Amino acid sequence: MELEKIKTLLYRIEKLMYGYNYEVTLGIEIFEGCSNISLVNKSIKRLFPDSNPEQIEPTIVLESSFWQVINETFDYRGESPGVALILNKQQELTLLDKQHEYKTYLSQFINQQTRIYDYKFLEGIPGYPVFWDYAFVIVTDDEKCILIYGSSSD
């Protein structure tokens, strides 16, 4: 699947995850020729000039930890009564289907040689974190780097 289709998919997930006093921002970017963190940071800075990747100490995370964060954020439904994502059965099934499609796309980049870096809070990236946020860089064995980010706010 090409990048623009994935960005459209993320937009659909964002709209499905819009709730009472709750909204989600999701994003993905793919950089070529990134064999080390310095090159990753330069690519991020070039695309998001107000970002601060050079101030982040990225940490390698296990694949299981990566998926745990993705799943927990996708499963978040709010903190009643002030924040809520209330879906009927059909909306919930549609959301789960779209989330699964996105996770399947991401999984194609992950193998034994892949390195996954947690970028904690990366300023200058779209979105405003209130309830949760993440930024990960997946570095593949063919020097492709995938920046994924997400946040939720009120």
Residue 66 pLDDT level (bands cut at 50, 70, 90): very high
User: Which structural domains are found in the chain, ordered by start?
Assistant: 3-153 (3.40.1000.50)
- The reported pTM is 0.92
What is the DSSP code string of 73-135? HHH----TTTSB----HHHHHHHHHHHHHHHHHHHTT-STT-EEEE--S-TTSSS--SSEEEE
Residue-wise burial string across 79-96, b where 16 or more C-beta atoms lie within 10 A, e elsewhere: eeeebebebeeeeeeebe
Averaged confidence pLDDT in the chain? 91
**Cα gap 71→153, rounded to integer Å:** 17
Averaged pLDDT for residues 103-118: 94
